[in-house]
Amino acid sequence: MTGDGGLVGFIYHHKRGMIVGCGQKAVIAADDKKTVESLGDPAELIKKNYKKEEWNTYRIVCRGPEISLYINGVLMSQVTDNHATEAASKGIIALQMHPGSPMKVQFKDIRLKKLD
């Protein structure tokens, strides 16, 4: 996310690109066909729920092929990824930043919970 709220609430994959945007709920079929529904207006979701230049709580819930992303308790995006070869059922957890202009990256209070 960016400090100004410009890049907030979406699910992105470094090889596949944008998986689902802020304010969207998508299902990706095994053949990579994507159907998308609206969860709300992205600008309004960000304006009402993202705290500019403050700490924000990101909650990411992964259950099987479904990933849900919440910011400060509000669902911002969701995807059910059933792609035959690209959907990952296991892997690493990483905290990412991209190189570029001077920036400040901070994380705090990271908690992991295994879901049954």
pLDDT at 1: 57
pLDDT at 77: 97
Domain ranges of the chain: 11-81
- pLDDT of 66-112, one tens digit each? 999 999 999 999 999 999 888 887 877 877 776 777 777 788 999 99
**pLDDT-derived band at 3, boundaries 50, 70, 90:** low
Per-residue pLDDT, averaged over 42-53, amounts to 92
Q: Indicate the burial class of 20 (C-beta count within 10 angstroms; 0-12, 13-18, 19 or more).
A: buried
Strand 17-20 and strand 11-13: the pairing is antiparallel
